[in-house]
Structure 1
Amino acid sequence: MTPTVRTVLGDISPDEVGVSDAHDHLFISLPSLPGEELDDVVAARVEIDAFAALGGRTVVQWTPWGMRRRLEQLPTLSKQSGVHIVAATGMHRAQHYSASTLERHYDTLADLFVHELTSAPIRAGMIKVAGSFHHLDRHALHVMAAAAEAHRATDAPIGVHLEGGTAALDVLNLLCGTHGVPAERVILGHLHRFPDMRVHRRAAEAGAFLAFDGPSRAHHNTDWRLLDGIAALVDAGHTHQILLGGDTVTASARSTADGPGMPFLLGGLRPRIEHELGTDVATAIFTANPARAFAVHWRQP
């Protein structure tokens, strides 16, 4: 069976993925950032059009269930822009949900994830989960167990929000060691927030994809280490496991608000990577690697 990437308009061949933003948000609402919600359809269209104008072909929206991902808007945006959109199911950290919401859905998360991946009107193409800071709290353990169960039923990739860029090896021990998820189905996000090259190398040696995501927010004090982290992995022979995404999560970070936004990934970072690390590395990071990371042998439970 040929692996495919599940988009909001249906499954596509990895060859169709093209230049990708492997982790971003067109719509999201974070309770901790009132007034910064991404909920403007017109602004989302301008942002994705600007990405397309620079050669972008696919955007992976990591907004999980319950955080106003506006799934109903994504197919139209994809058709209008000509950009493939991969949506996410899954669950973020507990602080982003009300206690009543967690209580209603906590015991049926795996079923919810499987439904959204395989039988919902607009299907997700990945599962998003989240770690805590320097350890995995009870919520993370519970949600990751549900994600692993949903993966076993569907083969869906699991993207992991590492809150401080930390606990990457704990996540791999849990998902791969305890729950048997193949490492190549795990995408570790926000590693640039904790620029420990030894940890990055060990995660890569385990077989996971490593996502450096967040430059569209341009406020992390580790952003200047981004290319150093990528170069270290390239030098260690792990070019084909690196992903890059903008992770735009606030309205003020969009290019329409004079922030770097989604276009910065291709207009700002890609030329630097091509210049400093070579066009082959840039092609791997922006095109070949996302096609492999999100293409799976979908199962229908």
Structure 2
Amino acid sequence: MTALVRTVLGDVPARELGAVDSHDHLHLRSAQLPGQELDDQAAAAAELGAFRAAGGGTVVQWTPYGLGRRAERLAELSRATGVHVLAATGLHQARHYPPGAVERAGDLARLFVQELTEGLRADDGAPLPVRASLVKVAGSYHGLDAHARTVLAAAAEAHRATGAPIAVHLEQGTAAAEVLALLCDRLAVPPERVVLGHLNRFPDLRLHREAAERGAYLCFDGPSAAHHATDWRLLDALKELVDAGHVRQLLLGGDTTTARARSFGAGGAGPGMPFLLTGLRPRLRRELGEEAAELLFVGNPARAFALPDPD
């Protein structure tokens, strides 16, 4: 049976995704990033167009509920640029929202399931005919606070109802073990349905191997000016995991969270989405080999974000 992936334009065969940016943002508005909102549709289209020109096929947008994801514009962007776009439901850390916004979201598990099965809510609350394909959640720094535990529990419930993967923002790359202990050991989410993000920000190779041994996907996102201090360790971390036998669990993303971080052609200071393919992919081919590079950009995301097999 052909594996399918849910995009904002409908379900497509996973083999048609092409090269995938497994963690990025087209639109984003956070109280933590004043003045750097990603809310320019023309800039988003330019960024996707540059990614397409570099050989990109799909962008997985991790912007969750309530953070200016502009869900009503995602289908338009995908159609105009020819790039597949995956959308997220879920919830970020409480500090990213205005006061009271999390409480107004109501029953989180119900919200997540609705957005996965019926359609996303627009920023004004109106229902849309665009369904999410993943649940984005977040941990805390070296642990899980009460908000994180509540949101992860709701994400696990939504996963059990839909089979959707859960993508986790690890604060500064920490608390991977705590996240897996809660989601997989206590809440029965299969580890192969968990994507751990931001591991490049905490380049502890032993912890990376331990997370991989649990069976989760490991997403190394960036590089960016904000996290340049660990950029130079990226290839070493990836090679360590490839040599340890975990090449089929690795993903790469740009994680563009501010207007300034977009590519030059989209009005930013770089490096932006295209750099994954123009700058990083050639180095991966030289360091890890063509087969490994193909898995990181094509084969692995096609499995990580695929719809569950029907019973």
TM-score normalized by structure 2? 0.93
* Residue 99 of structure 1, CA deviation: 3.1
Moved over 2 A (4+): 216-220
Does structure 1 conserve the Cα–Cα contact (< 8 Å) formed by 2:141 and 2:171? yes
**Quick check: 1:156 aligned with 2:164?**
yes
Say which SS state the counterpart of residue 297 (structure 1) adopts: coil
Does structure 2 conserve the Cα–Cα contact (< 8 Å) formed by 1:217 and 1:261? no
Say which SS state the counterpart of residue 233 (structure 2) adopts: helix
| Matched residue count | 299
Q: Show the counterpart of 1:117.
A: 116
The runs of 5 or more residues in structure 1 that have no matched partner are none
* Residue 32 of structure 1, CA deviation: 1.4
Q: Show the counterpart of 1:183.
A: 191
Say which SS state the counterpart of residue 295 (structure 1) adopts: coil
Q: Show the counterpart of 2:304.
A: 293
Say which SS state the counterpart of residue 259 (structure 1) adopts: coil
Q: Deviation digits for residues 177-231 of structure 1, max 9, x if unmatched?
A: 0000000000000001111111111111111000000214453411111111111
Does structure 1 conserve the Cα–Cα contact (< 8 Å) formed by 2:201 and 2:227? no
Distance 1:200 1:134, change over 3 A: same
Q: Which one of the candidate residues 234, 239, 242 is aligned to 1:234?
A: 242
Give matches, 1:241-260, under 5 Å.
Answer: 241-255=249-263, 256=266, 257-260=268-271
Distance 1:145 1:298, change over 3 A: farther
* Residue 104 of structure 1, CA deviation: 2.1
Q: Which moved more, 1:217-226 or 1:79-88?
A: 217-226
Distance 1:218 1:164, change over 3 A: closer
Q: Show the counterpart of 2:294.
A: 283
Q: Show the counterpart of 2:41.
A: 41
* Residue 20 of structure 1, CA deviation: 0.4
- What amino acid is the match of 1:17? L
Give matches, 1:15-26, under 5 Å.
Answer: 15-26=15-26
Give matches, 1:47-196, under 5 Å.
Answer: 47-106=47-106, 108-120=107-119, 121-196=129-204
Distance 2:37 2:217 in 1: 29
* Residue 34 of structure 1, CA deviation: 1.0
User: RMSD value over aligned CA atoms?
Assistant: 1.4
TM-score normalized by structure 1? 0.96
* Residue 2 of structure 1, CA deviation: 4.8
Q: Show the counterpart of 1:265.
A: 276
Does structure 2 conserve the Cα–Cα contact (< 8 Å) formed by 1:2 and 1:297? no
Identity of aligned residues (%): 62
The runs of 5 or more residues in structure 2 that have no matched partner are 120-128
Say which SS state the counterpart of residue 229 (structure 2) adopts: coil
Distance 2:308 2:249 in 1: 19
Distance 1:217 1:145 in 2: 33
Distance 2:255 2:224 in 1: 6
